[in-house]
Amino acid sequence: MKNTILRPLMLTAIIALVAACSPKKFDEVKALNDASGSGNAFTQALTTEYRSFVNSELDSYEDHADALHFSRKGLAAARGDMVMAEAVSDWNLHAGHAEELIVARARMVDVFARGARETQPQLSAVTQARFDCWIEEQEENFQDNNIGVCKSQFFDALAQLEASIPAAAPAPEPVAIVDNGDLGIDPSQPMAVENAKYIVFFDFDQSSLNAGANSILDAAAEEAKSRNLNSISVVGHTDTSGSRSYNQTLSMKRAEAVRSGLAQRGVNASIIQTQNRGESELLVDTADGVREPANRRGEITFQ
């Protein structure tokens, strides 16, 4: 039972009162049964899935509290709201069960983020509803068959979604690029300062520095401190996913994150200049709206 709905110590008394004084089905359940789904294909399919789940909980098991909770989710979906799957932290679970559900939910959220709800709305709705069924049954943890059915159906649907939607390309490893041969530079000689370029890559829609980015900043900072530099240029970039105005802002945040990272490593902040290009200077040419890891970057050059 979702622990944000009712305090455990009050649960028995409240359910008894409801059973004695109210009709078998709460108003929310009746409203869900009468509702017509609206919004997009996913929210309409999700309305149907939650309706079936709620009626099963109420009619087969007389689980009033969970029927009430999921009927509210179904009504939100019927309004066209983009309802998310249950948060694992909201349920009282054994540690091992919680870890398994966290990993499973992350896989589902990832495939949803890659467009599953738009391209496979019915299957996505089944996946989410079966996840919620699994977590509800897992908290009760006494009907192994019910747990197994919900869990199995969830993983079957999830596997179909993942097979139908290509996995996102992994972010490339941050690299230090040295332009040499094409310019007639002898690689055996010390690198000219103007030929060094360090590229820091970012995760999707993020301006925080991950472990790979920090590794490159370590190298860039050491190089910068070993030179008598006049200035350091940091230019932030994005891919084409999102609006141009949003990407302009995000690219500046990335540039500032790189600047801050260099300063924290002892580089003179007064010589670091930041610029942002948004999605205007792509490393990999793509159409609009494409999530391309190589384009999500900050470039460091020296002068």
- Give the model confidence (pLDDT) of 280-301 as tens digits: 999 888 888 888 888 899 999 9
Q: What pLDDT is stored for residue 170 in this prediction?
A: 53
Is residue 258 within 8 A of residue 296, CB to CB? The reply is no
Please state, in angstroms and rounded to a whole number, the distance separating the CA atoms of residues 107 and 77. 22
Please report how the helices 211-225 and 244-264 are oriented relative to each other, as an axis angle in degrees rounded to 10: 60
Q: What pLDDT is stored for residue 248 in this prediction?
A: 95
pLDDT class for 210, splitting at 50, 70, 90?
Answer: confident
| Domains of the chain and CATH, by start | 8-164 (no CATH), 175-302 (3.30.1330.60)
Q: Is the pTM of this model over 0.75?
A: no
Please state, in angstroms and rounded to a whole number, the distance separating the CA atoms of residues 85 and 83. 7
Q: What pLDDT is stored for residue 195 in this prediction?
A: 62
Counting Cα atoms < 13 Å in the Cβ hemisphere of 287 gives 0
Q: What pLDDT is stored for residue 167 in this prediction?
A: 62
Q: What pLDDT is stored for residue 7 in this prediction?
A: 32
Q: Is residue 235's pLDDT more than 90?
A: yes
Q: What pLDDT is stored for residue 263 in this prediction?
A: 95
Q: What pLDDT is stored for residue 48 in this prediction?
A: 94
- Highest mean pLDDT among 14-23, 168-177, 181-190, 284-293 belongs to 284-293
Please state, in angstroms and rounded to a whole number, the distance separating the CA atoms of residues 298 and 201. 6
Please state, in angstroms and rounded to a whole number, the distance separating the CA atoms of residues 210 and 229. 27
Q: What pLDDT is stored for residue 237 in this prediction?
A: 96
Q: What pLDDT is stored for residue 5 in this prediction?
A: 38
Q: What pLDDT is stored for residue 172 in this prediction?
A: 53
Q: Is residue 260's pLDDT more than 50?
A: yes
Q: Is residue 271's pLDDT more than 50?
A: yes
Q: Is residue 21's pLDDT more than 70?
A: no
Chain segment 42-90, per-residue pLDDT in tens: 999 999 999 999 988 877 777 778 888 899 999 999 999 888 999 888 8
The C-alpha angle 193, 195, 198, rounded to 5 degrees, equals 90
CB neighbours of 191 closer than 8 A, spacing ≥ 6? Answer: 178
Is residue 37 within 8 A of residue 48, CB to CB? The reply is yes
Between residues 191 and 268, which one has the greater pLDDT? 268
Shortest CA distance to 127 belongs to which of 119, 141, 116, 136?
116
Q: What pLDDT is stored for residue 132 in this prediction?
A: 95
Chain segment 190-199, per-residue pLDDT in tens: 556 666 788 8
Chain segment 107-141, per-residue pLDDT in tens: 998 888 888 999 999 999 999 999 999 999 999 88
